[in-house]
Structure 1
Amino acid sequence: MKVIAVIPARYEASRFPGKLMQMLGDKTVIATTYQNVMDTALFDDVFVATDSQIIFEEIKKSGGKAVMTGAHETGSDRIAEAVQDLDCDIVVNVQGDEPFLKLEPLQQLIAVFNDDPEREISLASLKIKLTEPDDIENPNHVKVITDRNGFALYFSRSVIPYARETVVKTNYFKHIGVYAFRKKALLEFAALPVEPLETAEKIECLRYLEYGMKIKMIETDFVGVGIDVPADLEKARRLIDRNK
């Protein structure tokens, strides 16, 4: 099974333009993400897919691999263009704004496909338990609910589930934007029209669910910092400083 990692990266992020070129220690966010993925030594190939000449040059300058794509609304669409002619079985999408991802969660995602003899799983992704009310209510934190077998039922920026009955303990999970796809499922995704739920929530995973694809969610205790807004960048810098 040939497994590659692709880091989709665009410069003009809606909530924090240029965030991938901000500095984390002595490297930019995107260069830090790329290096951390390379350091896992899990993949047959790793590269950045971008429509930004600035990001392309940054990765090439740091000795990494990058390819230019057209403009896309989602990372999955961008990756689909980048891998359509490549020989690979599993494509792991590591978000460019998740610079601290570690070895174990990536191993867990890849293992999903080794344990899927019927090939019913289209993609796998990560979730982490949320406990702080501010995190649960934050629309920048995409929440996910699953069935008893760990397959995603829905993703939302709203609080799900809604705890109408407060006597029962309710667990909340944040979706971490790292995916592992079967290449075939990824290319099928990119060919499908965008449906209303994805448009409303701005969550690309909903396109898979709206077309009946299965998403296996893996719970992790990995705590990183996804950089969505400037305050997240400051958290990431403090984490870098603590680990020096």
Structure 2
Amino acid sequence: RFPNKPLALIDHRSMIEHVYSRVASSPLVAKVVIATCDQEIIDTAAKFGAVGIITANTHERASDRCHEAMMKLAAQGEHFDVVVMVQGDEPMTHPEQIAEVLAPLQDEKVTVSNLCLEISQDEAQSLDVVKVVMDQHDDALYFSRAVIPALIGDQPRRFYKQLGLMAFRRAALRQFAELPPTPHEKSESVDMLRFLEHQVAIRMVRTAHKTIAVDTPADLERVKVALKSH
């Protein structure tokens, strides 16, 4: 759909560098690592001083790739209690969003958290946008590329999209990798459904920072415009 997407240029810097520098500017982050199966991305990362970890090219889910990177760091003697995963196609990630996604983990019962953003009904129609519905305690009920909640009747409703920014306790990320992939995870192509289908709760956090994930070249152009206006 978008070859070499992480290396696409935004204002003379690669998209992956934008993501990296924004995450690294959070005071809550001890180490930032770029996990990829693409040597070209590793080489690009080295040029702007980032640590890259090469992973298997067989991962269909970013969370599995993230787990492999965590295990490789552990093998080098680097252990982390919490891992924040930021998708490489989120160049508008705000450093404050790291604090937002980490906040629920102050409750030791919460093992996984994920950011979401309120969107318009028009944006909710897109299959590129993963929508989420939550219960009264902000735990995810379901993620879908279809429009959820459904447009029935004239009741006012709010739509939220999942952002590619999650936090896992170390044991939860290990659990994700050990659990078998699930039917809805595969049909929707959404990592977090593996947790839900195995009855692992995901605490959603509403963010006010508007971001645009880059799924298509058109999204990239929207990001360029949005970043210039900041």
Provide TM-score, normalisation by structure 1.
Answer: 0.89
Aligned CA-pair RMSD:
1.1
Distance 1:34 1:95 in 2: 10
Deviation at 1:109, TM superposition (A): 1.3
Distance 1:206 1:65 in 2: 29
Q: Which residue of 2 aligns with 1:68?
A: 54
Q: Which residue of 1 aligns with 2:65?
A: 78
Amino acid in structure 1 at the alignment position of 2:12: D
Q: Equivalent residues in 2 for 1:107-146 (5 A)?
A: 107-114=99-106, 116=107, 119-131=108-120, 133-146=121-134
- Does the aligned pair in 2 maintain the 1:121–1:213 contact within 8 Å? no
Q: Which residue of 2 aligns with 1:156?
A: 144
Distance 1:107 1:183 in 2: 17
Q: Equivalent residues in 2 for 1:33-52 (5 A)?
A: 33-52=19-38
Distance 1:232 1:212 in 2: 34
Q: Equivalent residues in 2 for 1:1-244 (5 A)?
A: 15-71=1-57, 72-84=59-71, 85=74, 86-114=78-106, 116=107, 119-131=108-120, 133-166=121-154, 168-243=155-230
Distance 2:150 2:112 in 1: 26
Deviation at 1:163, TM superposition (A): 2.5
Amino acid in structure 1 at the alignment position of 2:176: F
Deviation at 1:92, TM superposition (A): 0.2
Unaligned runs of 5+ in 1: 1-14
Amino acid in structure 2 at the alignment position of 1:31: E
- Does the aligned pair in 2 maintain the 1:80–1:186 contact within 8 Å? yes
Aligned to 1:174, the other structure's residue is in SS state strand
Distance 1:45 1:139 in 2: 33
- Does the aligned pair in 2 maintain the 1:25–1:240 contact within 8 Å? no
Query: Identity of aligned pairs, percent?
Result: 34
Aligned to 1:99, the other structure's residue is in SS state coil
Unaligned runs of 5+ in 2: none
Distance 1:138 1:87 in 2: 39
- Does the aligned pair in 1 maintain the 2:105–2:111 contact within 8 Å? no
- Once the two structures are superposed, what CA deviation does each residue of 1:193-241 show, in whole Å capped at 9, x if it has no partner? 1111111110111000001101000111111221011100001111233
Distance 1:205 1:155 in 2: 8
- Does the aligned pair in 2 maintain the 1:120–1:214 contact within 8 Å? no
Distance 2:31 2:98 in 1: 14
Count of residue pairs brought into register by the alignment: 224
Relative to structure 1, the CA distance from residue 170 to residue 234 in structure 2 (aligned partners, 3 Å threshold; closer, same or farther) is same
Distance 2:214 2:98 in 1: 19
